[in-house]
Amino acid sequence: MSTGERALELLLADIAACRICRDCPEGGPDKALPHEPRPVCVASASAPILIAGQAPGARVHRSGQPFTDPSGDRLRDWLGVDAPAFYDPAKFAIVPMGFCFPGNDAKGGDLPPRRECAPAWRSQVMDLMPQLKLILVIGQYAQAWHLGPLRQKTLTETVRNWREIIDVGDPNCPVVPLPHPSWRNSGWIRKNPWFEAELLPELKQRVATLVSPKDGIVSS
């Protein structure tokens, strides 16, 4: 095991034991996570692709594995990969902005990622994954952290600007902005046909160059 791999292993153990949002929540005790934390993070010292999502949902909280829900089915379809490839840490790192299920809002939707996670852990995780060749930023929270000033006023404008974001970013590790694959966003996809017609073919091609066809690429 390399020094970097060992350091990442130790960091993941610290993340798994993290209870900041329960024991030292931002905003005081009244803002504590109302259930036992279960951090979900698949960092990798070898994966060429990073999926930077939002936060685990209720199903992922129960399973302990990222994207074990309909959103995951749609995301894998967007990427053109099967589940074994998606869950292979040698191919994909999956590191959300918040590691624990944040709970639900009054309308039954997921709350935003906990604010404690990214300041505590994200830079440390990213520093230990220098091998990345492609970063997919899903949703406004991941886009805010990873894109900085390249992020536009709305998610639609940011995703629509994907070509420029790729062009002005690191050519060795381009960043691709995506909407959340939740089925709640089906209306957004219908209203923005360029997403499936233009962005997804480019995305699948880039993924295919990093994940061999014999390693889980699904034919379109």
The domain limits of the chain are: 3-213
The answer to whether 25 and 116 have CB atoms below 8 angstroms apart is yes
198 phi and psi angles, rounded to 5 deg: -115, -50
Q: What CA–CA distance (Å, rounded) separates 151 from 49?
A: 20
pLDDT one-digit tens code per residue, 56-79: 988 898 998 999 999 999 999 999
Closest CA relative to residue 87, chosen from 134, 39, 49: 49
For the domain covering 3-213, report its CATH number: 3.40.470.10
Closest CA relative to residue 206, chosen from 152, 162, 141: 162
pLDDT at 102: 94
The pTM assigned to this predicted structure is 0.93
pLDDT at 108: 78
The answer to whether 84 and 169 have CB atoms below 8 angstroms apart is no
pLDDT one-digit tens code per residue, 142-175: 999 999 999 999 999 999 999 999 999 899 999 9
pLDDT at 137: 98
pLDDT at 104: 85
- Consecutive H or E run containing 83: helix 83-86
The one-digit pLDDT tens for each residue of the chain (220 residues) are 789 899 999 999 999 999 999 999 999 999 999 999 999 999 999 999 999 999 998 889 899 899 999 999 999 999 999 999 999 999 999 999 999 999 988 887 888 999 999 999 999 999 999 999 999 999 999 999 999 999 999 999 999 999 999 999 899 999 999 999 998 899 999 999 999 999 999 999 999 999 975 555 555 5
Within its chain, how far is the Cα of 93 from the centroid? 8
Question: Which amino acid appears at position 125 of this protein?
Answer: V
Q: How far is CA 97 from CA 6, 53, 120, 188, in A?
A: 23, 6, 11, 22
Q: What would you measure as the largest C-alpha separation in the chain, in angstroms?
A: 51
